[in-house]
Structure 1
């Protein structure tokens, strides 16, 4: 059987992976296009290898909880600021991840950003196709699986990407359905990022401005993932295991959850906390 841009969902001896990948890519419809076409089986290009499936089935787990740090009082309470710095130091050393609440970004902006991303991916495919690209020429680009042709299996997700600093896009370069909120979210995240770099600098025993003076806060990229419903979720993943080659990642996740981090050789769930943001100490900062 063939669906959505020629993507095969049957298992037969004539399977041609390169042809399947190209058909999927050429459709510019993404995973959302497969779902809209009514696919009932996960195409082979998305299926994880058997060993990968077995690795995910281990149920003998120790219960861990990722740290949640309350930033209330960070600016006007010196005692509380010192406590927060100690919490950031401990979480960074032991986890490399933590969640922050009372971070100063209104919940209304977080919700509108998530809604804007959803509006983009759920708009008419012909409008969305205008932003589909695999090169870096387009300032705002939408695609599905940046490593589609090199990864052993594709992830069940679509993605949009934009470099927001130091050279932000012009408003007209952003999709109309999320233009205003993306620009506002940029301002809010830059402010929060500055606060986090100050905390991390002090946690390292350095002056507050140290990491920013190194240039750690100069760049900002917005990476927005969309995970359509999957007919066979046990066969694939929304995001494969990976590390982020950045200084710092601030992650806004929805209330459905699904994010996991590797801690003491065990995958630990990061339960959504209303209004919270997940902070990931990236590879460059850890080095």
Structure 2
């Protein structure tokens, strides 16, 4: 797999097939951080401030479609261990990484560069990616790589804790929306995929992207960043940079949560930019419904004054269209809107 960026690029310019059209380029990379990006202290939900914490989460999910969480219960040591293993993964020899690369669509654990559509896409992303399912853990862990040697143990422990964290956040969202307790404790959260992104330092970062503008197709995403900036979120017609906060996770509202909330919560469009000096790693835990799970606006949130905005469908139907349309927000959501009388 000679295409892996982490094994080949030391050039002073980027190849033409990594250069995005002018309208899609990141342009100004010095987008300032803004101070009003929501940061939620989850420890406050354990005491008398629970109602206030829920209010903050719902407000952030309505206005931004994402927020960061601190004091979330996952130790700094556990997060650092996971980051260390992710870094080690992409620093392995080409021979070791080739063992993880496959074009077999039936393989659930795979490494690739840019995207799974590398052979047909017009412009490549400046990233390598390694992904695999991680919930239920006992179903998938034995399929993970044996190298790095501590990958299975470390990432397995981290995955379990992140799934618990996602459940806690969804429980607070559930309460905030007025849904019955345990609404998301079923097939709606029956799957979790881990995608580890590696963005090598790029000689011309203003011309390319690590990930293009998109919103996540799943229910909710828990993102672990390192200390290198690169995540940007689209809000009110402009890009804002998300500052990496030590020992914090970024939480993205996915399309399915927007649909279940009948449009009350918003799925945030975001992208990843590169830089010329530092490689960046991020790990996204995508909590998602099972393929045959029925998705529809929660009945408790619809009535004659608030009719369903979206129709009922199977999650796999949404996913198929999402990837066929390459995540085009307007096209995808419009396809699942309810018929208006």
- Give the Cα separation in 2 of the matches to 1:173 and 1:216: 24
User: Is 1:101 the equivalent of 2:70?
Assistant: yes
Q: Deviations over 1:190-241 (max 9, x none)?
A: 111110110110111112311224x222110000001111112122111111
| TM superposition shift of 1:187 | 0.9
- Give the Cα separation in 2 of the matches to 1:58 and 1:250: 24
- Pair 1:44–1:60, CA change in 2 (3 A): closer
- Give the Cα separation in 2 of the matches to 1:269 and 1:175: 36
- Pair 1:282–1:119, CA change in 2 (3 A): same
Q: Give 5+ residue unaligned stretches, structure 1.
A: 1-25
- Pair 1:159–1:175, CA change in 2 (3 A): farther
Tell me which residue corresponds to 2:24.
52
What CA RMSD, in Å, does the superposition of the two structures yield over aligned residues? Answer: 2.1
Aligned with 2:147 (options 151, 172, 176): 176
- Give the Cα separation in 2 of the matches to 1:43 and 1:64: 37
Q: Deviations over 1:228-282 (max 9, x none)?
A: 1111212211111111101000000111111011111111111011100000000
Tell me which residue corresponds to 2:36.
65
TM-score by length of 1: 0.83
- Whether the 8 Å CA contact 1:101–1:275 is kept in 2: the answer is yes
- Give the Cα separation in 2 of the matches to 1:205 and 1:192: 20
Secondary structure of residue in 2 paired with 1:200: helix
Q: How do 1:118-129 and structure 2 match up within 5 A?
A: 118-129=87-98
Q: Give 5+ residue unaligned stretches, structure 2.
A: 260-341
- Pair 1:210–1:129, CA change in 2 (3 A): same
- Whether the 8 Å CA contact 2:27–2:206 is kept in 1: the answer is no
What is the number of equivalent residue pairs in this alignment? Answer: 255
Tell me which residue corresponds to 1:188.
161
User: Is 1:203 the equivalent of 2:176?
Assistant: yes
- Whether the 8 Å CA contact 1:99–1:279 is kept in 2: the answer is yes
| TM superposition shift of 1:33 | 2.0
